[in-house]
Amino acid sequence: MSDEQEARAVRQIEEGVQRDFSAAMSYGDYLGLDQLLSAQHPRSQPEQHDELLFIVQHQTSELWLKLMLHELRSARSLLSSDELAPALKRLARVKRIQEILTEQWSVLATLTPSEYAEIRPFLATSSGFQSWQYRAVEFLLGNKNADMVKVHDHDEAARSMLAQLLEEPSLYDEFLRYLSRRGYAIPAEVLERDLTQPYRENAELVDTFAAVYASPVEHWGVYETCEELVDLEDNFQQWRFRHLQVVTRTIGHKKGTGGSSGVDFLRRALDLTFFPELYSVRTRV
């Protein structure tokens, strides 16, 4: 290769590209990469090759959950102030996050039972069941459970945050309040319900949504929001099912490290629903 050809083969750094970061903020500075990339602490002795995969998988999931909480809180706030369009934009982003979280299970699925068995003893009693961010997402979507708050009594910040979310309206509660302000027939018992309890289906509310689905053009914004919420729950169920599959192929029917029954416990979660009327209405369309 001639000198001229070699020069063309190498992409030269442009003159204007920043090189000196002694007094300027770098990419690593902005993202706090020193802290982020030093937060992986394998516990296995001797250190097992696959433990880093397990740690990174769960740490990245927690980062996506942090962003999901940010977006869901914002969507809830926007609904409370009757700003439907930007709330839907937030939910569109949440759906993309959900897709990434579900796809991530495919990476962890490369961990064979034999490989995981080398790591599992070092997890001790730690378990994804203890993820307070995951629990916060469920609370925001309406699956409230006061007993879950007690799991985090050892962590004052997490316990306080979950206790607050337990008392606050869910995303669905705010949507129903929005509908009530717009003149839709929302039963009083729904609007005045005990917010610390999981949401329960209301037959009268199914009638209200049946009218929306009977004339979607007339109720387009509401109709679109209903379908966005169904997408959200559908994605959540896919995440749960993929989790179940990966756990089944990795540990079979062993108990979970946190003391749960494992696969059977995860399977029962598939029966939970956030927005029951939005599914019941489908038999009426």
Where exactly are the structural domains of the chain?
48-128+170-283
Do residues 232 and 98 make contact, with C-beta atoms less than 8 angstroms apart? yes
- How high is the pLDDT of residue 219? 98
243 is in an annotated binding site: yes
Q: Report the helix count and the strand count for the chain, using DSSP H and E.
A: 15, 0
Do residues 270 and 132 make contact, with C-beta atoms less than 8 angstroms apart? no
State the Cα–Cα distance between residues 21 and 7, nearest whole angstrom: 27
Do residues 161 and 136 make contact, with C-beta atoms less than 8 angstroms apart? yes
Is pLDDT above 90 for 4?
no
State the Cα–Cα distance between residues 180 and 38, nearest whole angstrom: 50
Q: 30-56, pLDDT tens digit by residue?
A: 999 999 999 999 999 999 999 999 999
257 is in an annotated binding site: yes
User: In the 8-state DSSP scheme, what is residue 125?
Assistant: T
Is pLDDT above 80 for 9?
no
> Taking residues 215-244, what's their average pLDDT?
96
Is pLDDT above 70 for 7?
no
Instruction: State the CB neighbour count (10 A cutoff) for residue 173.
Output: 20
Q: 48-95, pLDDT tens digit by residue?
A: 999 999 999 999 999 999 999 999 999 999 999 999 999 999 999 999
Share of the chain above pLDDT 70, in %: 97
94 is in an annotated binding site: no
> Taking residues 190-197, what's their average pLDDT?
97
Alpha helices (H) along 111-262: 113-119, 132-141, 146-150, 156-167, 171-181, 188-191, 203-214, 220-251
- How high is the pLDDT of residue 5? 64
57 is in an annotated binding site: yes
Is pLDDT above 70 for 261?
yes
Torsion sign, CA atoms 63, 64, 65, 69: positive
> Taking residues 256-275, what's their average pLDDT?
81
Burial class, 220, CB count within 10 angstroms (exposed 0-12 / middle 13-18 / buried 19+): exposed
54 is in an annotated binding site: yes
Angle subtended at Cα 270 by Cα 141 and Cα 80, rounded to the nearest 5 degrees: 10
Is pLDDT above 90 for 19?
no
48-128+170-283 has which fold?
A: Methane Monooxygenase Hydroxylase; Chain G, domain 1 (1.20.58)
Do residues 71 and 136 make contact, with C-beta atoms less than 8 angstroms apart? no
Per-residue confidence band for 254, with pLDDT thresholds at 50, 70 and 90: confident
58 is in an annotated binding site: yes
- The answer for residues whose C-beta is within 8 angstroms of residue 75's C-beta and 6 or more apart is 87, 88, 90, 91, 94, 171
State the Cα–Cα distance between residues 217 and 142, nearest whole angstrom: 28
Rounded (10°) CA dihedral 77, 148, 264, 114: 90
CA distances to 7, 10, 11, 112, 152 from 2, rounded to whole Å, are: 9, 13, 16, 50, 66
User: Which tokens go with 204?
Assistant: 């009268």
55 is in an annotated binding site: yes
